[in-house]
Homo-oligomer: A and B are copies of this chain.
Amino acid sequence: MKLILASQSPRRVELLGRITTDFVAIPAQGEEQVSPGTPPRETAGLLALQKAQEVAAEHPGALVIGSDTVVDFNGHRLGKPRDRQDARQMLQCLSGASHWVHTGCALVQGERVERFVSSTQVTFYPLTPEEIDAYLDTGEPFDKAGAYGIQGQGALLVKEIQGDYYTVVGFPLAQVARILRQWGKISKEKNSQI
C-alpha cells in the first residue's frame, strides 16, 4: 500500500513522519475551487478533499491524505500575506483577540473517503507596533496563512489556545493517526514504533 501526503509543507511532512516514515509527499497542483462566500471552516474541508482527490486520481490504489489550513477571523478567511503591509494588517487584526484555525483533512483511497475538519481557537496577546515589526523582520509570516506560525517565533504572540495544538501548526496528527489505525493502515508492528 502506497501512502501519499498531498502536501509539501515541511511541517506536515515532519508531523506525518512521527507515525510512519513509509510515505511520499506529492503536492496537488490544481487551483483552489471554492465558491465565494463559502465559510472558512467549510473551505478548509473542501480544499483538503480537492487536494486529496486530485493526487488520488493520478495514483490509483494509493491512500492519499490531503490537508488544508484556514485562518478565520470573525468569519473572514486570512490567507498568506501578499506583502509586508498585508502581513502587518493581519497581525493588527489578530492582536489582542481570538480567532479560529480550521485544518481540514481528507483521506482518499479509491472510493473510500473520510474527512474531518478540526478547529482550534487561538487568542493573541495585545501586540505593540514594535512587536509586530520585530516579528515581520523574522520573515516568518510570509508563507503562512494569517501571517504567523505558532511553532516558531509566532509562539511569542499567542496567549492561549483551545483545542488541538497541531491543528494550528497545520496537521491534526492524533486524529489522522486514529483514522489510519481504524483503516488498518498502520500495522501493529509499526504501531509499536509510535
Tell me whether A193 is interfacial, beta carbon within 8 Å: yes
Asked whether, in the complex, the Cβ of B138 is within 8 Å of the Cβ of A174, the reply is: no
CB pair A159 B165 closer than 8 Å: no
Complex CA gap A153/B19 in Å reads: 8
| A167 and chain B: residue at smallest CB distance | B160
> Nearest Cβ distance between residue A151 and chain B, in whole angstroms?
9
Neighbouring B residues of A131 by C-beta, 8 Å? 191, 194
Residue of B nearest to A120 (CB): B160
Residues of B within 8 A of A1 (CB): none
Contacting pair B162 A166 (CB below 8 A): no
Complex partner residue of A174 from B125, B134, B173, CB under 8 angstroms? B125
Count copies of this chain in the complex: 2
CB of A178 within 8 A of CB of B125, answer yes
Q: Which parts of A135-161 form the interface with B (CB within 8 Å)?
A: 135, 137-138, 150, 152-153, 155-161
Q: Given the interface contacts A137-B193, A178-B125, does A162 sit within 8 Å of B159 by beta carbon?
A: no
| A158 x B174 contact (CB < 8 A) | yes
B18 touching A133, Cβ below 8 Å: no
Which of A135, A150, A177 has the largest number of chain B CB atoms within 10 A? A177
| Residue A130 is within 8 A (CB to CB) of chain B in the complex | yes
Residues of chain B within 8 A of A133, CB atoms compared? 192
**Which residues does chain B contribute within 8 Å of A193, judged by CB atoms?**
134, 137-138
Check if A163 is an interface residue, CB within 8 A of chain B: yes
Task: State the A residues within 8 Å of B (CB).
Answer: 15, 18-19, 120, 125, 130-131, 133-135, 137-138, 150, 152-153, 155-166, 173-174, 177-178, 188, 191-194
Question: Apart from A134-B194, A161-B162, what 7 extra A-B contacts exist at CB < 8 Å?
Answer: A120-B160, A131-B194, A155-B165, A155-B166, A160-B164, A161-B163, A165-B165
